[in-house]
Structure 1
Amino acid sequence: MSKSSYNVLFICTGNSARSIMAEAILNQQGAGRFRAYSAGSHPAGQVHPRAIDLLARNRFKTEGLRSKNWSEFAAADAPHMDFVLTVCDKAAGEICPVWPGQPMSAHWGVEDPASVKGGEEVIQRAFNDAFMVLSRRVALLTVLPIEKLDRLALKKELAGIGQVRA
């Protein structure tokens, strides 16, 4: 798999926090080598304000981020995806659309910070933790020698990245 740029779709059920953060992080850290997108099977309809705030505080671009349905990326005129990465366990268990071109897929489960209950400190820590895990995984993806790996080795590497914690 040798290309100058790779399209990556991060999917989650609600597409309000984790997949949105992963999209923003990869678009900035992937600097031209990757183009990231995100979507959800049952999108919340809005990006979680804490996700936007956390991204902005860490100097990631937030304009244009929106909660959207994954069907947008299964359409004939959608960008061709090279990778589809699920970031929540619920979406990983759902039947996904058929992605044109059979992109490589992997599961990168991250706890949902938007579902955490508790005080301000507990909730903020959950968002920070998810952000750190996603940042670390995205950093590993950006240095992966994709063009030097065969499909099986690449699949194994992607799965391994999904096991990395912050």
Structure 2
Amino acid sequence: MKKKVAFICVHNSCRSQMAEAWAKKLGSDVLEVYSAGTEEYPEVKPLAVKVMEEEGIDMSSHYPKLLRDIPGEVDYLITMGCNVECPYIPCSYREDWGLEDPSGGPIEAYRETRKLIKDKVEDLIKKINK
């Protein structure tokens, strides 16, 4: 049975979207993946979409979702580094990745965040497969 994992940040416009995309690409055999934010936002950041396209991952159909749009309980809850009070969602395991938000920065900041997220998703999949 696949494990439900949710990636959460404030706007669901960058880091959590990248994490969702990586997890779907790398862990689709073991993960049921969601992402959401705590506040509404109009779109996924265009630079986030662009840097994921560089890795062959299409996020063009992604859109920001809110907590109410995902299951009310998950196996793994991963917060991106909210810089605010992170939300409570019932889960078996919770972890905060403490990632800086590259929003407003140069494309290189997005690329670095993309790499950090990929590494962390790979580690999460290994942990789940143990």
With normalisation by structure 2, the TM-score equals: 0.88
Task: Note closer, same or farther for the CA distance 1:113–1:5 as it changes in structure 2 (3 Å cut).
Answer: same
Please tell me the residue identity of whatever aligns with 1:50: L
Residues 137-156 of structure 1 aligned to structure 2 (within 5 Å)? 137-144=120-127, 146=128, 148=130
Aligned partner of 2:64 in structure 1 is 67
Aligned partner of 1:33 in structure 2 is 30
Aligned partner of 1:84 in structure 2 is 77
Q: Which has the higher contact order (CA 8 A, sep 6+)?
A: 2
Q: Does 1:107 align with 2:96?
A: yes
With normalisation by structure 1, the TM-score equals: 0.71
User: Larger Rg: 1 or 2?
Assistant: 1
Q: Is the 8 A contact 1:28 1:61 kept in 2?
A: no
Aligned-residue Cα RMSD (Å) equals 1.9
Please tell me the residue identity of whatever aligns with 2:8: I
Please tell me the residue identity of whatever aligns with 1:36: V
Residues 18-29 of structure 1 aligned to structure 2 (within 5 Å)? 18-29=15-26
Aligned partner of 1:9 in structure 2 is 6
Task: Determine which structure has the larger helix proportion and give its number.
Answer: 1
**Identical-residue share of aligned pairs (%):** 25
Task: Determine which structure has the larger strand proportion and give its number.
Answer: 2
Q: Secondary structure at the match of 1:109?
A: coil
Q: Is the 8 A contact 1:12 1:90 kept in 2?
A: no
CA shift, 1:62, in A, is 1.9
